[in-house]
Amino acid sequence: MSKTEETTFRDRPINIDDTGRRKWIQARQPKGKWYNRRTWFAWCCILFLVLAPIIKINGNPLMLFDIAHRNFSIFAVQFWAQDANILALIMLIVVVFIVLFTVIFGRLWCGWACPQTIFLEMVYRRIEYLIDGNHRNIRKEQSNKHNLVFRRILKHVIFLIVSVLITNIMLMWFVGHERLIEIITSPIRDHLLGFGVLMGISIFYYWIYAYFREQVCTMICPYGRMQGVLMDSKSLSVIYDYKRGEPRGSKTSGDCIDCSRCISVCPTGIDIKNGTQLECINCTACIDECNQVMKKLKKPAGLIRFDSVFGVENGIRSIINTRSIAYSFVSVILLVILGFTIAGRTPVETSLLRVPGTIYQEIGTDTLSNVYTLKVLNKSNKNKNIQLRLLSPEHGSIQMAANKISLPEDETYENILLIKLHRKSINSSSTKIIVGIFEEENMLERVFINFVGPEK
């Protein structure tokens, strides 16, 4: 890092030069324990991304967000639009977990599990290393003009193909793999609009990964911008041990020899020796690189390591603080509420509403009736034969077109029905009644409604 960069790194993004133009960051491929771990983890994530909408448990996909049909499957538990309360609770839990995770582990998500980093570092960048060579050779390779044009075209064609693949994988999360296969195998003219949208998204992905790259993390991602608020001195993060490293330089007493190798592998181009920075995605590449330098110098590894400011200052690694305890407590409470809410969920969702504008009808001298619209949604993945029974009050009955309703999975039954009550069961102008939804002798749901009668 030049003297100017040393003093201006806080004034402007690291990838912008003093004339305001973008500087391309061509990070060298890291090597080492952390990079190997990250590679394994990234490929597990990619495998999950590909397989989650395909794998089915009890007939439900592991993950599916079918917004068009308002059908969601999260870890093979199916939710409908009627479960909006549970979905909202899950979203709240995810947010609290993100906050808790960040308070403890800093921006670890960004460097290890974020799809942007996984695809950029483990897919696109690796293709680039294969075709262009590692960073140090790029200039040498570029002097070979003959090869260069061919390699550029090859690289960008592969980038485009990978972008189309990623778009299709993402689409699978929203329409399911059966529908995706159907779309792919049918003629393009049958879904021209959809095809155009998919191509547009693919080109957008290509632009992100081939051109825009690390700027998503350093300039756009709102999660990155929240780090300053979420992290504190006990949050773990990739950190340079300034107590051990300084004063730096080959002829000084600190362990850092100022070789800049940690900068050369950094995908966001920063110098971690300047302290914790918003641009650091905690990818751990600089840890591997510095550990190799330390090994050559026969000094202990960990000059750059996963630690906290508190840990570097005091030599103690502690992730426990008031905030982490408070967020853990909130997470546990929310999880318990979610557990109870899911356990109390019924496999059918019934709505029984009095037909608007109607009042009661008299049948003979001692019976009154009300007309209702019945809607039953089968939220399970099995066909259901259901029956409605009047549970309360005693002296009454339900009259509908069929005694039993055969309801296929994911389908809704809709009809009109009549509820009749004996006058002695009617105690006010609005009598509370309870209807049970049964499958054989198993009660699936209870519905509470009002029966309109004469003023008493």
- Does residue 239 bind ligand SF4 (CB under 6 A)? no
Query: Can you tell me which of 63, 64, 103, 303 binds ligand SF4, judged by CB under 6 A?
Result: 303
Q: Comparing C-alpha atoms, which of 248, 253, 300, 297 is closest to residue 272?
A: 248
- Does residue 261 bind ligand SF4 (CB under 6 A)? yes
Q: How far is the CB of 307 from ligand SF4 (least distance, A)?
A: 12
Q: How far is the CB of 122 from ligand SF4 (least distance, A)?
A: 14
Q: How far is the CB of 324 from ligand SF4 (least distance, A)?
A: 22
- Does residue 14 bind ligand SF4 (CB under 6 A)? no
- Contact track, ligand SF4, 269-288, x by CB under 6 A: -x-xx------xxxxxxx--
Q: How far is the CB of 221 from ligand SF4 (least distance, A)?
A: 13
Q: How far is the CB of 116 from ligand SF4 (least distance, A)?
A: 13
Q: How far is the CB of 321 from ligand SF4 (least distance, A)?
A: 23
DSSP β-ladder status, 396-399 and 412-422? antiparallel
Q: How far is the CB of 271 from ligand SF4 (least distance, A)?
A: 8
Among residues 177 and 273, whose Cβ is nearest to ligand SF4?
A: 273
| Among the residue ranges 199-207, 258-266, 359-367, 447-455, the one whose residues contact ligand SF4 (CB under 6 A) | 258-266
Query: Can you tell me which of 64, 180, 208, 293 binds ligand SF4, judged by CB under 6 A?
Result: 293
Query: Can you tell me which of 100, 257, 352, 390 binds ligand SF4, judged by CB under 6 A?
Result: 257
- Contact track, ligand SF4, 84-123, x by CB under 6 A: ---------------------------x------------
Query: Can you tell me which of 183, 259, 447, 452 binds ligand SF4, judged by CB under 6 A?
Result: 259
Query: Can you tell me which of 238, 352, 374, 435 binds ligand SF4, judged by CB under 6 A?
Result: 238
Among residues 244 and 354, whose Cβ is nearest to ligand SF4?
A: 244
3-state SS string for the chain: CCHHHHHHCCCCCCCECCCCCECCCCCCCCCCHHHHHHHHHHHHHHHHHHHCCCCEECCEECEEEECCCCEEEECCEEEEHHHHHHHHHHHHHHHHHHHHHHHHHCCHHHHHCCHHHHHHHHHHHHHHHHHHCCHHHHHHHHCCHHHHHHHHHHHHHHHHHHHHHHHHHHHHHHHCHHHHHHHHHCCHHHHHHHHHHHHHHHHHHHHHHHHHCCHHHHHHCHHHHCHHHHCCCCCCEEEECHHHHCCCCCCCCCCCCCCCHHHHCCCCCCCHHHCCCCCCCCCCHHHHHHHHHHHHCCCCCCCEEEECHHHHHHCCCCCCCHHHHHHHHHHHHHHHHHHHHHHCCCCEEEEEEECCCCCCEEECCCEEEEEEEEEEEECCCCCEEEEEEEEECCCEEEECCCCCEEECCCCEEEEEEEEEEEHHHCCCCEEEEEEEEEECCEEEEEEEEEEECCCC
Q: How far is the CB of 105 from ligand SF4 (least distance, A)?
A: 13
Query: Can you tell me which of 289, 307, 349, 439 binds ligand SF4, judged by CB under 6 A?
Result: 289
Query: Can you tell me which of 132, 141, 246, 258 binds ligand SF4, judged by CB under 6 A?
Result: 258
Residue numbers at the binding site for ligand SF4 (CB under 6 A): 111, 238, 240, 245, 256-262, 265-268, 270, 272-273, 280-286, 289-290, 293, 303-304
